[in-house]
Amino acid sequence: MSISQEQLVRKPRLKTYFLLIRIQLICLTFSPPFWSLTLLTKPIPTECRYSVAFAFLSFEQGNNFTWVLEMLVGLLTSKLNMPKVIVTDWDPALMNVVAKVLPKTDHVLCYFHIEKNVKAKCITNCRVNAKPSKAKVVDKHVKEAKDEKHCDKVKKIGRAWRDVVNSHPEDSFAIAWLTFKEEVCGPFPLFVKYVETTVLNLKKHFVRAWMNKYLHLGFRTTNIVESAHAQLKRYLSSVGDLASCWDEIDKMLKNQLGEIQGSFGISITFMAHKYKKKQNKLFSELEGYVSRAALSFID
């Protein structure tokens, strides 16, 4: 039985905890010539992170992506273990591969990278043209004032865009989009056309009104896996052969496992002081049975 983010937030938090440790999410990021696939943090009751797969790639192309995901699926012992949600960057080739290899997995696009693209387009397309002047020399203060005005306009458009992305339900989205399109970006039809035809045709993958139908557990960006990838690169700081890379990856995974085991040990042995108070009898009865991180969800 599938459950959406909308249904999840309506359930008691105690039930939320038990759902959190059963749902699998995979988040992907890539940096040539290395890919990192990381199982996201939330499914582990102590909020630790561990990596599930690594792959060397020579090119960022569809057939390479297909091979990586097929190998990943091959590691899963049962169809019941298929990831329920996958979070990736906005990459057309990768999106096509995900739809092909994981057709039943809900696909979330990193809204942070989408926002960066929208902002970059806004900076170039939403500049108010100055009135023609006969003066050949532009006063420095006038130029600074124009740049500041442009900067304020970009910030205003950015706020309106975030209202669109975070709108929920669909009626709120319609209102937020109309405000963005007509009131905020009315003087910039080319920019509006770009957003409408290039970005919003993917709205079901990043706008809350549609995305909350997936059980994404709050993971809407690839930031967490990019952090894990940065950690991996620290282990692989020097260029070496495949055998030396294997040794370094093995060392990193052992350290991750040690952190996970340590976090469980802390949850079993120590309990936060606020949960030991007499008025929190319910929480005190859970000491040693529920992780500290999970208690924060229940609280």
Choose which CATH entry (3.20.20.70, 3.30.420.10, 3.30.565.10, 3.30.1370.60) describes domain 5-110+214-269.
3.30.420.10
Is the Cβ–Cβ distance between 205 and 97 less than 8 Å? no
Which of 202-206, 234-238, 251-255 is modeled with the greatest confidence? 202-206
CA distances to 25, 30, 184, 245 from 240, in Å: 31, 19, 52, 7
State in Å, rounded, how far the first CA of the chain is from the last one. 27
pLDDT (tens digit, 9 = 90+) per residue, 14-73? 332 222 333 344 555 555 555 555 444 334 567 777 777 777 777 777 888 888 888 888
Q: Please name which of 6, 200, 21, 179 lies closest in space to residue 106, comparing C-alpha atoms.
A: 6
pLDDT (tens digit, 9 = 90+) per residue, 279-294? 566 777 777 777 777 7
Q: Checking DSSP bridges between strand 85-88 and strand 50-56, what pairing results, if any? A: unpaired
pTM (two decimals): 0.73
Residue 256 has pLDDT above 80, yes or no: yes
Domain ranges of the chain: 5-110+214-269, 113-202
